[in-house]
Structure 1
Amino acid sequence: MTEAIVSLQHLQHNLSEIRRKTGEGVRIMGVVKANAYGHDVHRVSETLEQNGVTDFGVANIQEAIELQTGRALKKPASILAFASPLSSQIPFYLKHGIEMTLCNKETLFAAESHAAATGKKLRVHIKVDTGMGRLGLPPAAAMELLRASEQCPGIEVKGIYTHFADSSGDMEFTRRQLRDFLSLASEYEHSSGKQVLRHAANSGAILSLPEANLDMVRPGITLYGYHPAKETGTRLSLKPVMQVEGKIAFLKTVPSGSTISYCRTWRAPATTTIATIAAGYADGYPRALSGKGARVTANGQSFSQVGTITMDQIMVDLGTSSTAKVGDRVILFGWEGPTTAETLADLSNTISYEILCAVSRRADRIFR
């Protein structure tokens, strides 16, 4: 059986590191979308709340409702859904008090209609596209949306926000995004006489562009113990929050020339011991790692994964001197041993975010 060990102490440590970087005057929105990057949204959010976080970011209204109704949060909290909603979803924002991302006038007018029908106010954050090219309006059109929202009594503009496209790499472009965003925010606040919550900084910007902290920051991957890019890898002392472990299910000695797993892609160069580990790509250990030299740790020793990774099992070459036995735990990645989520990401040509999010529900979450 595969286990995902989640260290809530490491989570608290990473939050403290982020606070040290941003300063106490900046609000922190805990980004807990995708089941808190695979770590368990309820336990992660509960821990963040216990450590002073009152703002949470999720992907969509479904995740927002799951968080709000899951009883992890014991105090009033602000939950923002980042997705642009369908009109049919707007009543759920009003019913559950979820803050909505607003990207166009059509959604604004639909939201105003629903708000008027219920007698409730809907809090929104206007999304500004300054260069990500995903959601939101360019600054000029966003200003029109802001002004239109002032004519809607059922709508409360709580914030405006943008998202950086390359906050760990192309800093010239990122600074241009920030300038465009701040220009819009300043113009709106000056013309309306209102102050709104401004937020732009993701993990990369927190590390690389302190002037982007503004009123609130939105750390994601840094909460879970990883830097968004190698260029930022020494700026915070982060600890991985998740460690994924399996157990040795079977051991056998094979002679030189024996082939292992599907398509016979690995051949034993000499007599050796092969361990079958009860974890595969259905647990979140990517098939793309097959034959890439990924290392696992058993009894303090590091061994190489061999052959094609299968749905439920992987094979490991233990050599001839290992003392490992059936039932021993094997660390696939985490804070012990040489292999982290970032290591696996590099080997499989992806990012640590994807490795973490891919750890499936078949891996029991164990909290420490």
Structure 2
Amino acid sequence: MRATKAIIHLDNLKSNIKNIKSFTDPSHTKMCVAVKADAYGHGAVQCAKAVLEAGADFLAVATVDEGAELRQAGIKAPVLMLSLCCPEEVPQAVKNDITPLVFDTDYAELFSKEAVAQGKDNYAVHLAVDTGMGRIGVLPEDAGKAAEAILSYKNLSLGGMCTHFAVSDCTDEESRRYTKLQFSRFEEAVGNVKKSGIDPGIRHCCNSAATLDLRECHLDMVRPGIIAYGYYPGDMNSDYFTQKGTPVELKPVMTLESKVCAVRPFTSGKSVGYGRTWTSDSETDIGVLTLGYADGMLRKFSSAGICVAVDGKVYPVRGRICMDQCMIDLGLNSGVKRWDRAVIFGDRRDGALQTADDIARLTGTISYEITSCITKRVPRVYTE
């Protein structure tokens, strides 16, 4: 196995699910865990099995292929597809009982025709409602007619209704008002479907932030994503929930590590890496790691102040990150040796001194992107 690997702590994942479930009433609120984008880089199949063992009811994917992968692994739980697919993918979606979000007649007709062709009765779809996200969904005032249209097609049934919050992970008052407005518009949409004499099915709107912060919006199902993998959403953090009186512990599920493959003595004035962007101003040792932007150690990290932990001490990245390697400044007499383990981010019990969230803050992004960008060539090692 490569020196560079991602350790995936399934025990942390299960612990996170348990802690998230404590915010819900399992007697009437289901949980749909997002395992899209290969479970945010953690490995969809293994993580899906773990969250189902921990009590999840549904799984959420973004593409037909992601759903098919779960089915091929023997996973039988309901799978919700949060993004749209093209017509050529519809047969595979129906074959694998992947539940799509629909909001217009053209798209609904595709699934109706395929459900008829495959002999599947009451093929469930969920009606997507646009309450202010602006991506997909029917407007609330048109939800009743949209539900009627869905049921007018052969072999389709309305399994649920959903919307997505745009700023529920923001804590400023304007964002809070907007989220409340979105929720009220979703309730309006549900009401319009009921007025048409149609059962709206499973109502769901809560993403990670709303799951932890807006219990009054839970309805029939919540859809946690990043919090399952150990990171707080948006403006929220551990202190926020503690101060609110609803503390929640989330543990990072992924630890990214590599090894020091070489230690190079540098004299003052010697540069390292492409473009010679860093030059030593004194004697030092440079450690070379077998990790680069083709692994997810992105090139933009080069000048962001990212550090790597070796034996409990932090060493800064120097020079431009290469496709397959990066360099760290060890200083003099560090004691770091060739093949010593280097931890980029993750769980402290693995020797990490920073999380994906720390790196995200330094690079102007979010933890979701950091973990999702860890590429397939980095082996995942699963631990319980």
TM surpasses 0.5: yes
Does the 8 Å contact 1:266/1:291 carry over to 2?
no
Report how far residue 103 of structure 1 moved: 2.1
Q: Which residue of 2 aligns with 1:161?
A: 162
SS in 1 for 2:339: coil
Segment of structure 1 superposing worse, 103-112 or 301-310: 103-112
Among candidates 259, 271, 278, match of residue 247 of structure 1: 259
Q: Which residue of 2 aligns with 1:41?
A: 44
Q: Which residue of 1 aligns with 2:85?
A: 85
What is the CA–CA distance in structure 2 between the aligned matches of 1:146 and 1:284, rounded to whole Å?
43
- 1:6-36 deviation per Cα after TM superposition (whole angstroms, max 9, x unaligned): 0001101110111112232321101000000
What is the CA–CA distance in structure 1 between the aligned matches of 2:79 and 2:118, rounded to whole Å?
20
SS in 2 for 1:65: helix
Letter in 2 for 1:56: L
Letter in 2 for 1:99: T
Q: Which residue of 1 aligns with 2:139?
A: 138
What is the CA–CA distance in structure 2 between the aligned matches of 1:46 and 1:138, rounded to whole Å?
35
Letter in 2 for 1:134: R
- Residue segments in structure 1 that go unaligned for 5+ positions in a row: none
CA spacing shift, 1:165–1:304, aligned 2, 3 Å: same
SS in 2 for 1:47: helix
SS in 1 for 2:31: strand
**1:113-128 correspondence to structure 2 within 5 Å:** 113-121=113-121, 122-128=123-129
What is the CA–CA distance in structure 2 between the aligned matches of 1:97 and 1:180, rounded to whole Å?
30
Report how far residue 220 of structure 1 moved: 0.5
Q: Are 1:210 and 2:215 an aligned pair?
A: yes
Q: Which residue of 2 aligns with 1:334?
A: 346
Q: Which residue of 2 aligns with 1:172?
A: 177
What is the CA–CA distance in structure 2 between the aligned matches of 1:39 and 1:284, rounded to whole Å?
13
- 1:296-343 deviation per Cα after TM superposition (whole angstroms, max 9, x unaligned): 110111111111111111111111131111111100111223211111
TM-score w.r.t. the length of structure 1 is 0.96
Does the 8 Å contact 1:129/1:137 carry over to 2?
yes
Identity of aligned residues (%): 34
Report how far residue 254 of structure 1 moved: 0.6
SS in 2 for 1:366: strand
What is the CA–CA distance in structure 2 between the aligned matches of 1:232 and 1:136, rounded to whole Å?
30
Does the 8 Å contact 1:207/1:232 carry over to 2?
no
What is the CA–CA distance in structure 2 between the aligned matches of 1:135 and 1:92, rounded to whole Å?
22
Letter in 2 for 1:3: K
Does the 8 Å contact 1:286/1:348 carry over to 2?
no
Report how far residue 195 of structure 1 moved: 4.6
SS in 2 for 1:326: coil
SS in 2 for 1:350: coil
Q: Which residue of 2 aligns with 1:19?
A: 21
Does the 8 Å contact 2:312/2:353 carry over to 1?
no
What is the CA–CA distance in structure 2 between the aligned matches of 1:265 and 1:199, rounded to whole Å?
50
Report how far residue 213 of structure 1 moved: 0.9
Among candidates 215, 221, 225, match of residue 220 of structure 1: 225
What is the CA–CA distance in structure 2 between the aligned matches of 1:193 and 1:116, rounded to whole Å?
22
What is the CA–CA distance in structure 2 between the aligned matches of 1:327 and 1:188, rounded to whole Å?
62
Segment of structure 1 superposing worse, 279-288 or 101-110: 101-110
- 1:114-171 deviation per Cα after TM superposition (whole angstroms, max 9, x unaligned): 3233331321011111111111121123322101122224101100000011111211
Report how far residue 190 of structure 1 moved: 4.2
Letter in 1 for 2:292: G
Q: Are 1:185 and 2:194 an aligned pair?
A: no
Does the 8 Å contact 1:85/1:101 carry over to 2?
no
- 1:44-84 deviation per Cα after TM superposition (whole angstroms, max 9, x unaligned): 0111121222310000111111111123x2xx310011122
What is the CA–CA distance in structure 1 between the aligned matches of 2:290 and 2:209, rounded to whole Å?
36
Does the 8 Å contact 1:204/1:232 carry over to 2?
no
Q: Are 1:67 and 2:70 an aligned pair?
A: yes
Among candidates 210, 225, 229, match of residue 234 of structure 2: 229
SS in 2 for 1:182: helix
Q: Are 1:343 and 2:343 an aligned pair?
A: no
SS in 2 for 1:274: strand
What is the CA–CA distance in structure 2 between the aligned matches of 1:254 and 1:332, rounded to whole Å?
23
Report how far residue 232 of structure 1 moved: 4.0
SS in 2 for 1:367: strand
Among candidates 364, 367, 374, match of residue 359 of structure 1: 374
What is the CA–CA distance in structure 1 between the aligned matches of 2:137 and 2:163, rounded to whole Å?
8
Among candidates 196, 201, 204, match of residue 206 of structure 2: 201
- Residue segments in structure 2 that go unaligned for 5+ positions in a row: 242-247
Letter in 2 for 1:131: G
